[in-house]
């Protein structure tokens, strides 16, 4: 069955009233990005609000071109971009996302008195130090994933941000996925019963250049891609009692990338697995998240253009006992993240993801990737 617009609006209203997930729900679930996500550009009196002034430091991250979303949104004004590496800067300047941007030094950007938030899109080995300088300058940040390779540094950054009441929004891609939002609702309402099993897979074919880049860290594909899934698993089940990583270089390619990885998350009454590789042909189509409970199962596949199969042992609300094939609106990357951040910065809502959650996720990422945590 299709999850139609009326049904999705009811889901959004129910979740908002329950307080379980309050991030621009109507727009996320219905796909009405124009009216739902930018509705906050005017205040209650109908006056146009001043846009939030945002800058970006770094273009070396794989998701750095998300700047285009902020440039297109009436919620934001992009005031400057920083990249100290001439090669990376020249490469970015040839892309539409960065065309005609105001380029400046990091010091110039952080000294802008009306700068409110910084997108940290550096290469991963520079991300935590860059983020810390932004926090020290009193700026909110969007920190792209994963949260660096040092858990103590990330913990210190989060504590400093919390002391200053500064937002740290992590760049995990699936937090606002409409199928994930529905899964959270069904879980919160008890429709799935007691969860005992979760499976998640996220793979793709990585080219030679990408393999060299990802091999910088021993955590390989779990560190690079698996972190998106671990954010979901920890969000659904909490901090695991134990994580067992399985690390493998399976390709015939002679490089140092750990390209075939699995992690098992143990909970008192549940098990979860996270699987990722750098070699799966058409891996985007098989990216999935499955949650099994005593009353039902929900299988989301693919994750990037979500569809889902929901099977219930008893009726729940609009869903009869049995199996339902669900489809969802188009879900463009990064749009909901930007919209939710705007609402948080304007004081209209609190973040749905706590400092403690982000720290728990990073601990789990490092453990699943068999990387140091001290």
Q: In which band, very low, low, confident or very high, does the pLDDT at 331 lie, cut at 50, 70 and 90? A: confident
Mean pLDDT, to the nearest integer, of 75-95?
Answer: 96
Task: Answer whether residue 34 shows pLDDT above 80.
Answer: no
Closest CA to 225 of 369, 343, 88: 369
Q: In which band, very low, low, confident or very high, does the pLDDT at 39 lie, cut at 50, 70 and 90? A: very low
Q: Which two tokens stand for residue 84?
A: 């100290």
Domain residues of the chain, as ranges?
37-170, 178-368
- Give the span between the Cα atoms of 55 and 191, in whole angstroms: 42
Q: Classify 242 as helix, strand or coil.
A: strand
pLDDT of 122 reads 98
- Give the span between the Cα atoms of 141 and 132, in whole angstroms: 10
Task: Answer whether residue 232 shows pLDDT above 60.
Answer: yes
Same fold, 37-170 and 178-368: no
Mean pLDDT, to the nearest integer, of 202-225?
Answer: 97
Please state the pTM of the whole predicted model.
0.89
Closest CA to 221 of 252, 254, 246: 246
Better-predicted residue by pLDDT, 7 or 46: 46
Percent of the chain with pLDDT over 70: 87
Task: Decide if domain 178-368 falls under CATH 3.40.190.10.
Answer: no
**Strand ranges in 58-194 using DSSP code E only, listed in sequence order:** 76-82, 117-120, 140-143, 168-170
pLDDT of 244 reads 99
Task: Answer whether residue 361 shows pLDDT above 70.
Answer: yes
pLDDT of 18 reads 37
For 106-124, b/e burial (b = at least 16 CB within 10 A) is: beebbeeeebbbbbbbbbb
Residue 143's CB is within 10 A of a number of other CB atoms, namely 27
pLDDT of 292 reads 99
pLDDT of 12 reads 46
Mean pLDDT, to the nearest integer, of 217-221?
Answer: 98
Tell me which architecture the domain covering 37-170 has in CATH. 3-Layer(aba) Sandwich (3.40)
Mean pLDDT, to the nearest integer, of 8-16?
Answer: 44
- Give the span between the Cα atoms of 80 and 82, in whole angstroms: 7
């Amino acid at each position: 069955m299709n999850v139609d617009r009326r049904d999705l609006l009811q889901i959004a209203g129910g979740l908002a009233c329950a307080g379980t997930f309050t991030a621009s729900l109507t727009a996320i679930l219905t796909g009405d990005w124009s009216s739902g996500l930018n509705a906050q550009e005017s205040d209650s009196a109908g006056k146009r609000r001043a846009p939030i002034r945002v800058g970006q430091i770094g273009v070396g991250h794989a998701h750095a071109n998300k700047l285009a979303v902020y440039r297109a949104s009436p919620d934001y004004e992009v005031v400057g971009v920083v990249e100290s590496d001439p090669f990376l800067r020249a490469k970015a300047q040839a892309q539409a996302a960065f065309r005609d941007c105001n380029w400046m030094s990091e010091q110039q950007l952080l000294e802008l008195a009306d700068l409110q938030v910084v997108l940290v899109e550096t290469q991963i080995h520079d991300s935590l130090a860059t983020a810390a300088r932004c926090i020290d300058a009193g700026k909110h940040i969007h920190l792209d994933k994963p949260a660096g390779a040092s858990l103590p540094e990330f913990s210190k950054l989060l504590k400093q941000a919390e002391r200053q009441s500064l937002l740290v929004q992590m760049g995990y891609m699936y937090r606002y996925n409409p199928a994930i939002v529905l899964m959270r609702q069904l879980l919160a309402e008890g429709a799935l019963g007691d969860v005992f099993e979760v499976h998640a897979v996220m793979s793709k074919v990585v080219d030679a250049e990408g393999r060299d880049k990802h091999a910088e860290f021993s955590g390989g594909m779990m560190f690079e891609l698996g972190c998106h899934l671990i954010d979901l698993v920890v969000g659904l089940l909490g901090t695991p009692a134990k994580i067992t990583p399985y690390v493998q270089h399976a390709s015939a390619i002679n490089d140092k990338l750990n390209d075939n990885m699995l992690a098992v998350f143990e909970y008192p009454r549940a098990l979860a697995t996270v699987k990722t590789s750098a070699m799966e042909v058409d891996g985007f189509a098989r990216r999935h998240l499955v949650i099994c409970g005593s009353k039902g199962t929900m299988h989301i596949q693919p994750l990037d253009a979500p569809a889902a199969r929901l099977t219930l042992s008893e009726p729940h609300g609009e869903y009869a006992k049995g199996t339902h094939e669900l489809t969802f609106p188009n879900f463009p990357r990064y749009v909901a993240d930007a919209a939710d951040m705007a609402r948080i910065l304007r004081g209209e809502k609190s973040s749905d993801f706590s400092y403690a959650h982000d720290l728990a996720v990073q601990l789990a990422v490092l453990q699943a990737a068999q990387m140091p945590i001290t």
